[in-house]
Amino acid sequence: MTPCSYLMNTQLSLRQALAQGTKALEDVSLQPHRDAELLLLRLIGRDRTFLLTHPDAILTEDQAAQYDEWLRRRAIHEPIQYILGEQEFYGLSFAVTPDVLIPRPETEHLVEALLARVPHDMPLTIADIGTGSGAIAIALAHTLRDAQVTALDISEAALAIARRNAETHQVADRVRFLKSDLLSAVAGESFDAIVSNPPYVAEADRATLEPQVRDYEPAFALFAGPSGLDIYERLIPQAQLALKPGGWLLMEIGQGQREALAQLLSGWTNVSFINDLQGIPRIACAQR
């Protein structure tokens, strides 16, 4: 066995493994204990209660080697979601790989905002632009049982992950997946609502991103030209043509983009912005 680089030895109790894993991640993670614990729980296939009640259980040599490999990956800033292969979003577990952006808690505001604006007991047609893992589209289909959702993405690899997630959550019969540059694949169709968490980071801000974001998540899902507004400038006019009268457009936006989005939505009605839990304008809402 190759000597472990982060574990002191291969005969470790769960308590020792957790302590050494936490120490290994102190310079990388804002929550080193949480990350080390999540990796350890996945390793042993048990819940936190087992970890608390059996702290002296011994890892096998193979388990120690696997845990060390995961720690090394996390120690070079690889997101824990990619190591574990999943992320929770809106109470559902989604498979994620480096082909898709990791769903963020703040994006749940987008789902909640649409649910607050549409009837839940009527057939609806919804388009999700840049679906990635399918998190938004699937969360909406899971909640709105009469809705038909079209999930669009320019990446075939992302669409493959999204289809897998739709099957997992048993909504594949109500979510259509299409390769598309924004709304190009559904030209001529109309929707009750269009939602999107598009790329909105300015290229000039690339160096300011955390390494686990900048170096691992797909660049095409992050960056949108010099100002970060490139996708909005294309999507908003397309959405105006594709929405039914009274239809809603909801988009996640980046910090500091509220005024620019207000200008881009100047021809719309009922324009409003929803703050995230940090008080940052995060969701732009507008009605055709």
Domain ranges across the chain:
14-76, 99-287
pLDDT value, residue 3 = 47
Of 119, 105, 112, 166, give the one whose Cα is nearest residue 141: 166
In this prediction, residue 4 carries a pLDDT of: 56
CA distance 111 to 77: 29
Q: CA 53, CA 83: separation in Å to the nearest integer?
A: 26
pLDDT per residue as tens digits for the range 118-133:
999 999 999 999 999 9
Please enumerate in sequence order all residues whose Cβ is within 8 A of that of 16, keeping only pairs 6 or more positions apart, or say none: 8
The model's pTM: 0.92
Question: Which residue stretches of the chain have pLDDT < 70?
Answer: 1-4, 9-10
Question: Nearest to residue 194, comparing CAs of 259, 263, 240, 139?
Answer: 240
**Confidence (pLDDT) at 125:** 98
Nearest alpha carbon to residue 200 among 107, 69, 88: 107
Residue-level pLDDT at 176: 98
CATH topology of domain 99-287: Rossmann fold (3.40.50)
pLDDT of residue 7: 77
- Amino acid 149 reads V
**Fold classified for 14-76:** Helicase, Ruva Protein; domain 3 (1.10.8)
pLDDT in tens, 180-238: 999 999 999 999 999 999 999 999 999 999 999 999 999 999 999 999 999 999 999 99
Of 171, 200, 195, residue with least CA distance to 183: 195
Cα(128)–Cα(150) distance, rounded to whole angstroms?
A: 6
Q: Give the DSSP per-residue string, the chain.
A: -PPPSSSS-SS-BHHHHHHHHHHHTTTT-SSHHHHHHHHHHHHHT--HHHHHH-TTPBPPHHHHHHHHHHHHHHHTT--HHHHHTEEEETTEEEE--TTSPPP-GGGHHHHHHHHTTS-SSS-EEEEEES-TTSHHHHHHHHH-TTEEEEEEES-HHHHHHHHHHHHHTT-TTTEEEEE-STTGGGTT--EEEEEE----B-GGGGGGS-HHHHTTS-GGGTB-TTTS-HHHHHHHHHHHHHEEEEEEEEEE--TT-HHHHHHHTTTSEEEEEEE-TTS-EEEEEEE-
In whole angstroms, give the CA distance from residue 238 to residue 190: 11
Closest to 225 measured CA to CA, from 251, 202, 197: 202
